[in-house]
Structures are given as C-alpha cells and as structure tokens.
Structure 1
Amino acid sequence: MTQPAMFLAHGSPTLAIEDNNYTQFLKQLIQQLPRRPRAVVVFSAHFDSPVQAVSNDDVHETMHDFYGFPEEMYGIDYPAPGDRELSKQIGDLFADNNLPYEMSSGRGLDHGVWVFLRTLFPKADVPVVELSVDSRRSPAEQYAIGKMLTQLRQENVLVIGSGGLVHNLRLLDSGASSPADWAVEFDEWIGQQLQDWNLRMLFDYERRAPHVRKAVPVYANEHFAPLLYAMGAADDERRAVKLFQDYQYGSISLNCWVFGGTVSK
C-alpha cells in the first residue's frame, strides 16, 4: 500500500512540550496511515538553501535553533537514525532529473523536523532524511522537485513538508480567543485550490490569494514552500484531504494535509 505525502505545520517549538488538540492529533496520526513507514523524508522550512541538500548521517544530532524559550526545550534530544542508502537513492533521483544537490553531514535535525517527529515517533526509531527547501525558487519548481520523489511513497517512505501556511510572527496575538478572519480566509482559499488540485492558481498564489502578504510575508515564505514540495510528491494521484485545522496566537495556522495514498479519517 502506497504511503501518502503530507504537509504538517510545525507551529511554535513549544509544540514539543505542549498538550493540546494538535499534539493529541499528532499522537494518533500514524495510526491513520496504511502502515508504519520504514523511513521519513522531511522538507523543512528551517533548512533554506539555494542548493538542494540531502542529510547523510548515521545518527542525527538535535538542533536547538531557537532562543527565548523554556529551559527544558534546550535539553530535549531526539537522536533519530539516518539512512545513508535512502539518502543516496534520493541523490540519484535528483541527479536523474538534472537537479544539482549536495550531501549534508553533521548539521543535525532542526526544530522544523524533530518537534513533530518526537510526537509521531517518540522512540526516535524511524530513520529520517532531512531535505532543504529553496524559498527563492518558483512554486512550479518547488512542486517539480517534490515530484522527483514520487516513487519513494511506493517503497513505504513517508514524504513530509514541514512549515506553516499562515506564519507571520509580527502579527501574533497571544490573547486571541479565536483566529483572525484574514488568516482563516487565506487558509480556506489555499484549501480550495488543494482540493481542486488547481496548480495554475496555487502557482500564482502570491497574486491571487486573499491577505497573502499577511499570511506569507516576504521574509518568511520558506514556511509556505514545503506545501508545494510535499504536494509534488503525490503528483501521480492528485488528491488532497485535510485532516486537521486549528490556530495558535490568533493566526499561526496548525494544519495537516495529506496527498494521495490511503488514510483513515
């Protein structure tokens, strides 16, 4: 059975120590997949590089790439194994499609990866390969890179894009009791294009989506990019299902979209 591709919002780093509706959802998410994946490949918003990077470690270190958070956050260790064979396979797929890439060793997993993997796989016993995104590429190019990895899903590899569809730290409202209207409108517009698999509109989202500069500010568009990489990995099926939606601080969108494959809702 083919694994889906997936977009997961990673929210605030404190997601790693929180108990809320989203973390409860994540704890059950693996049970909704057709089977336990043999490995996970993650395009992370926090690994933005003009050259496609592929992690290539036996065991990943844990990056604490944030500041000003509770002290316990800096003591968290998530020593997930890598998979050098899978890393090589991914590199070969990129090379076959004329995409320059480089192997990346010793960097570790950034919080855009381990924060939610720690909830999905608390024993850190599933191999992980982290991939960079390039926020300067066009949406069509980002989608095309994800498409290069389509066959991995048939080999029981879960492909995930980790970011945030609405991610503007300058508009956070810690006292908000409900999400901002503009954030909901943007999410709903994106959701409609995903369900329709309307690539023409999605690739032009920066001109067409409502409230786009509030939702995806220029300084943070790397958080939107993983959606397109993950979506491309399911180009063979072109089916999108939303499994979860919530908000933090009035506008940080916490959502899970799955593309292709088989999931139970």
Structure 2
Amino acid sequence: MTLPSLFVAHGSPMLALEDHEYVRFLQDISQQFRTPKAIVLFSAHWDTPDQSMTVDETHSTMHDFYGFPEEMYKLNYPAAGDLRLNAVIDGIFKQKNLHYVPIEGRGLDHGAWVILQKMYPEANIPVIELSVDSKRSPKEQYDIGSMLAELRKEDVLVIASGGLVHNLRKLNDSPQPDAWAVEFDNWIVEQLEQWDLRTLFEYEHKAPHAEQAVPRYAVEHFIPLFYAMGAADDDRTAKRLFQDYQYGNLSLNCWMFGS
C-alpha cells in the first residue's frame, strides 16, 4: 500500500510545548499508516526562488523565532538526513529539468521539527527538507510536488507544512472561530474533495475572504498545500483528518492525499 502525502498545519511555534486536541491528533496520526523509511518535507519557513534541498547526514535544530519562553530554545530534534534519498531526488529533479540548490548545514526550521517532534518524537526517521517558492504559480508548485509522487511507493512520506488560514494581524482572543476563516476553509474543502485544480489554482480571485485568509505577506504558508497535492497526483483523493482554530482564525488542519 502506497503512503499518502500530507498537508499539516504547524500553527504557532508554541505547538511544541502545548497539549491540546490538535497536539494529541499529531501524536496519533502515525497510527493511520505504516512507519515511513524517510520523510521529505516542504516547509513554509523556507521560501526561496530556487528549489532548495537539505543534504546533510544529521540535522541541527533551528530556533527561527523570537520572543518565546526560554524552554523553546532548548528543544532539539536530532533527525538524520538521507544522502541516498538525496541522490534519488537529485536524479528526479534533473530528469524533470528542475534547477535546484543543495544546501549543507542549514538545519530543520520550526515548520519542520515542531510537527515532527509530535508525529515521530524519537527522531529516528531520516528527514530531507525542501523549500517552497511563493513566487511560482500554483500549477508550478503542484508540478514540483508531483515529481516526488513516485517516492511514496518507496515508503517515503511526503509532508507539506504550512497553514491554510494564516494572518497574524487578524488573531484575537475569541473563543469561537471567525466566520470568515471558517467560510474560507469550507471553500477549500469543497475544491479538494472534488480535486478541482482549475478553481483551486485561482483561489485568490474565487475563494471567499481570500485576502484575509491568505494575505500577501503570508502566501508561503498556504502554498505548501499545492506541493502536498501534487505529490498525490497519481491518486487524486483528499481526506480532511482534522480541523480546528486557535486565536480566532489560525487554522489547525491536516489533509491526507492519496493512500
């Protein structure tokens, strides 16, 4: 059975220390499919014009945030890299004529390790992190993800980490989710369940409240969705596994594509 690809919201960095329903969901999600041999992860916190890829035997842990409790800066996720898988991806990108840049010594940013430390706390699965490019079109982002679809047949789990509604300027202390955020997420649900790429690729113009949900300064958090979908282009099925909100509208959701 082929592994799925996942879109996983990483929320606030504080997710690393929190204990709530979404955290417990992430801790249990690995029960839904077999343990992968490796993980390839697209992170919203690595936005580059050239496709980039970590090429390390071991990863350091980036604390790429500020103003958080001191305990956050002591957390470590010492996952290994996978140079053999790096070589496989290198071959795929070259075959598909995708220029990419290998990066040594970068480490895993919090878009990667915060969710991985919940999903695979023992850090015993090799990880390769890939960048996203918010300047590319949704179709280009989808197509890059699709280049890696074959890896899922080799027990490689493809994850894209971001956030469908991610507007830090709109956060509030409301106990109920803002109606505009829910309406936007529900529109996404409809398009994903129908795998309506034409409509979804035009989300900026067609989705309700798109400017609030995906502000210009935070597009990189939404686009990992397209990379995750592309990685399941050979099996165009979508299933929402979790949906909740923090701070009024920060969307905590997880989608599984393919099977």
Normalised-by-shorter TM-score class: over 0.9
Task: Give the alignment of 1:42-121 within 5 angstroms.
Answer: 42-121=41-120
Measure the CA separation in 1 of the matches of 2:2 and 2:201: 26
SS in 2 for 1:93: helix
Query: Match of 1:244?
Result: 242
The residue identity in structure 2 corresponding to 1:222 is E
SS in 2 for 1:65: coil
SS in 1 for 2:39: strand
Is the aligned partner of 1:14 residue 2:9?
A: no
| TM-score of the superposed pair, with normalisation by structure 2 | 0.99
Report how far residue 260 of structure 1 moved: 0.3
The residue identity in structure 1 corresponding to 2:199 is M
Measure the CA separation in 2 of the matches of 1:63 and 1:12: 15
Q: Deviations over 1:174-225 (max 9, x none)?
A: x210100000000000111000000000111111000001000001100011
Give the percent of matched residue pairs that are identical in Structure 1 and Structure 2. Answer: 61
Report how far residue 255 of structure 1 moved: 0.3
Measure the CA separation in 2 of the matches of 1:97 and 1:37: 25
Measure the CA separation in 1 of the matches of 2:102 and 2:232: 24
The residue identity in structure 1 corresponding to 2:16 is A
Query: Match of 1:144?
Result: 143
Report how far residue 251 of structure 1 moved: 0.5
What residue ranges of structure 1 are gaps of 5+ in the alignment?
none
The residue identity in structure 2 corresponding to 1:183 is A
Report how far residue 15 of structure 1 moved: 0.4
Task: Give the alignment of 1:93-242 within 5 angstroms.
Answer: 93-173=92-172, 175-242=173-240
Measure the CA separation in 2 of the matches of 1:250 and 1:101: 38
| TM-score of the superposed pair, with normalisation by structure 1 | 0.97
The residue identity in structure 1 corresponding to 2:45 is H
Q: Deviations over 1:43-98 (max 9, x none)?
A: 00000000000110111000000001111000001110000111121121111111
Measure the CA separation in 1 of the matches of 2:97 and 2:136: 15
Aligned residues: 259
Report how far residue 253 of structure 1 moved: 0.2
SS in 2 for 1:243: strand
The residue identity in structure 1 corresponding to 2:29 is L
Measure the CA separation in 1 of the matches of 2:143 and 2:10: 23
Measure the CA separation in 2 of the matches of 1:86 and 1:103: 13
- Cα pair 1:54 1:91 within 8 Å, conserved: no
Measure the CA separation in 2 of the matches of 1:63 and 1:192: 36
Is the aligned partner of 1:255 residue 2:250?
A: no
Query: Match of 1:25?
Result: 25
The residue identity in structure 1 corresponding to 2:201 is F
Report how far residue 26 of structure 1 moved: 0.6
Measure the CA separation in 1 of the matches of 2:69 and 2:90: 37
Measure the CA separation in 1 of the matches of 2:180 and 2:12: 20
The residue identity in structure 2 corresponding to 1:247 is Y
The residue identity in structure 1 corresponding to 2:26 is L
Report how far residue 11 of structure 1 moved: 0.3
